[in-house]
């Protein structure tokens, strides 16, 4: 090959690299391992982790142990799906484009919105994109967030809003849900978006319709963040007044995988479609009149619009969106409803059993869905650490999220948790709090 090129050695091809910047030594990296040794090394690492196969997982807070049906992994591992890239040549990418079109359809349907995009990275960045979009549409400088919005999502919003200099304002939620009077005072003529999450970070259901009225009365957009897994049972945000819907779609068949990759869901009303971030797939026809699908409205995106693009997003999480599409196809109309019903039923059973323990109570006295906050008589971090020894991941201690909740534990219950596991949690928790 060098002969064809006309070079004496590969070094001749590297002549453009300045000599003084050339590495004289090999990189100081850990040595290469043969495959079987590498497998052993990684298995040893993985074995140190308390995963949900070996531990009863009651952790929530934006990532959930919902069951992942077996066909998903097999189908997404087909090389034609997982080794393809962005469908720039649509004639050779109809597999990817059709699955994205199906995904857009399903997400718009769940959300009660007109249009969904092909995905953003995760729920936090999706919310941040929603905030920026509201600012672009209204030209207003403030984002008002309900206190129940996931604190880590809020941090992402703050990071994205720093450049444009948008101001974030928070409405207190001392009783676990939005204080509507306080919201009415903060949402006004400077508000681009009023952001509400339901169920919120504490698992509590918010009055989204009331929030919509407050937002729209002030000429602001309502951005609703909601876990799509719950939307078989819970009302679609679009029918509650949302202008923009965002959510963390990880529960729809995406592995928890220590927090990533996840699935940022994003949907909006029809009149906002040209301001939407992210890829959009549309239906069309080919020269023979056959149905086909293409990336469309691309002039919004960075590769054409550059500095004036609706977002900088290029690569998204297409394979995770495919997992969700297959999940929703398998679960279908009836199955998604059942997942929600089972999760909520088990969560309410768990709350009843756990609050029967002396000293343990529900921190907020408002309706919840599949997650709730317990107030404990002993420091939750220590309680949780003790229960790890019983092979139980009891819940998320809330002190690091909100000091006022330093005695609290956030407990999530999905359809995966058996009665036996819940009873075992109750027994272990009772012991740990000294009841």
Closest CA to 235 of 113, 120, 350, 335: 113
Q: Which is nearer to another protein, 54 or 185 (CB)?
A: 54
- Edge-to-edge strand ranges of the sheet holding 371-375: 361-362, 371-375, 408-412, 396-397
Q: Which two tokens stand for residue 134?
A: 């509201």
294 binds another protein (CB under 8 A): yes
52 binds another protein (CB under 8 A): yes
Local structure of residue 10 (DSSP, 8 states): H
- Using CA atoms, how far apart are residues 367 and 184, in angstroms rounded to an integer? 22
Scanning residues 377 to 396, which ones bind another protein (CB under 8 A)?
381, 384-385, 388, 393, 396
Whether 225 contacts 150, CB under 8 Å = yes
333 binds another protein (CB under 8 A): yes
Q: 114: number of CA atoms within 13 Å, CB side?
A: 10
Q: Which is nearer to another protein, 216 or 386 (CB)?
A: 386
Whether 129 contacts 164, CB under 8 Å = no
Give Cβ neighbours of residue 378 (< 8 Å, ≥ 6 apart). 432, 433, 434
Residue 432 three-state SS? helix
Q: Which two tokens stand for residue 54?
A: 């070996």
What is the x/- site pattern for another protein, positions 226-245, by CB under 8 A? Answer: -----xxxxxx---------
158 binds another protein (CB under 8 A): yes
Q: Report, in Å, the least distance between residue 422 CB and another protein.
A: 7
Q: Which is nearer to another protein, 65 or 243 (CB)?
A: 65
Q: Report, in Å, the least distance between residue 138 CB and another protein.
A: 15
Residues in the chain: 435
- Among 56, 124, 246, 414, which residue interacts with another protein (rule: CB under 8 A)? 124
Q: Report, in Å, the least distance between residue 273 CB and another protein.
A: 7
DSSP string, 154-221: HHHHHHHHHTTTPEEEEE--TTSS--HHHHHHH-STTEEEEEEESS-TTSBPP-HHHHHHHHHHTTPE
- Among 40, 77, 174, 219, which residue interacts with another protein (rule: CB under 8 A)? 77
Q: Which is nearer to another protein, 185 or 271 (CB)?
A: 271
411 binds another protein (CB under 8 A): no
27 binds another protein (CB under 8 A): yes
Q: Which is nearer to another protein, 6 or 434 (CB)?
A: 6
> Binders of another protein: how many residues, by CB under 8 A?
205
Phi-psi region of 57 (alpha: psi -120 to 50; beta: other; left: phi over 0): beta
319 binds another protein (CB under 8 A): yes
Residue 310 three-state SS? coil
Scanning residues 245 to 274, which ones bind another protein (CB under 8 A)?
248, 255-262, 273-274
- Among 8, 40, 78, 271, which residue interacts with another protein (rule: CB under 8 A)? 78
138 binds another protein (CB under 8 A): no
356 binds another protein (CB under 8 A): no
- Among 184, 188, 292, 379, which residue interacts with another protein (rule: CB under 8 A)? 292
What is the x/- site pattern for another protein, positions 173-212, by CB under 8 A? Answer: -------------------------x------x-x-x---
Scanning residues 298 to 317, which ones bind another protein (CB under 8 A)?
298-299, 301-309, 311-317
Quick one: which segment of 7-15, 167-175, 215-223, 355-363 binds another protein (CB under 8 A)? Answer: 7-15
24 binds another protein (CB under 8 A): no
Give Cβ neighbours of residue 320 (< 8 Å, ≥ 6 apart). 119, 249, 250, 254, 261, 262, 263
- Using CA atoms, how far apart are residues 327 and 117, in angstroms rounded to an integer? 18
Q: Report, in Å, the least distance between residue 70 CB and another protein.
A: 9
């Amino acid at each position: 090959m060098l002969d064809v090129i006309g070079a004496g050695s590969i070094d001749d091809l590297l002549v453009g690299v300045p000599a003084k910047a050339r590495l004289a030594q090999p990189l100081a990296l850990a040595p290469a391992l043969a495959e079987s040794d590498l497998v052993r090394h990684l298995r040893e690492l993985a074995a140190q982790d308390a995963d949900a196969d070996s531990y009863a997982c009651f952790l929530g807070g934006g990532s959930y142990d919902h069951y992942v049906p077996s066909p998903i992994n097999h189908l997404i591992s087909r090389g034609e799906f997982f080794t393809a890239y962005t469908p720039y040549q649509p004639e050779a990418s109809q597999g990817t484009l059709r699955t994205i079109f199906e995904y857009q359809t399903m997400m718009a349907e769940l959300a009660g919105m007109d249009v969904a995009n092909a995905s953003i990275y995760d729920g936090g960045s999706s919310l941040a994109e929603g905030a920026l979009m509201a600012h672009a549409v209204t030209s207003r400088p403030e984002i008002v967030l309900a206190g129940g919005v996931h604190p880590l999502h809020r941090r992402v919003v703050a990071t994205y809003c720093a450049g444009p200099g948008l101001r974030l304002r928070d409405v207190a939620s001392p009783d676990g849900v939005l204080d509507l009077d306080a919201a009415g005072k903060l949402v006004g003529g400077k508000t681009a978006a009023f952001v509400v999450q339901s169920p919120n970070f504490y698992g509590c259901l918010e009055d989204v319709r009331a929030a919509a009225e407050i937002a729209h009365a002030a000429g602001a957009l309502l951005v609703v963040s909601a876990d799509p897994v719950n939307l078989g049972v819970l009302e679609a945000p679009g029918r509650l007044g949302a202008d923009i819907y965002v959510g963390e779609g990880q529960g729809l068949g995406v592995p928890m995988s220590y927090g990533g990759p996840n699935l940022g869901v994003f949907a909006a009303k029809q009149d906002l479609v040209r301001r939407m971030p992210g890829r959009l797939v549309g239906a069309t026809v080919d020269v023979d009149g056959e149905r086909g699908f293409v990336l469309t409205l691309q002039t919004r995106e960075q590769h054409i619009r550059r500095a004036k693009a609706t977002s900088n997003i290029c690569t998204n999480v297409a394979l995770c969106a495919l997992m969700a599409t297959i999940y929703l196809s398998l679960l279908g109309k009836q199955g998604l409803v059942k997942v929600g019903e089972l999760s909520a039923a088990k969560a309410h059973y768990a709350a009843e059993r756990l609050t029967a323990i002396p000293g343990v109570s529900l921190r907020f006295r408002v309706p919840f869905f599949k997650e709730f906050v317990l107030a404990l008589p002993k420091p939750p971090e220590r309680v949780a650490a003790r229960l790890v020894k019983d092979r139980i991941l009891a819940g998320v201690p809330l002190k690091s999220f909100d000091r006022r909740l330093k005695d609290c534990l956030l407990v999530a219950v999905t359809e995966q948790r058996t009665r036996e596991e819940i009873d075992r949690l109750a027994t272990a928790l009772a012991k740990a709090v000294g009841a």
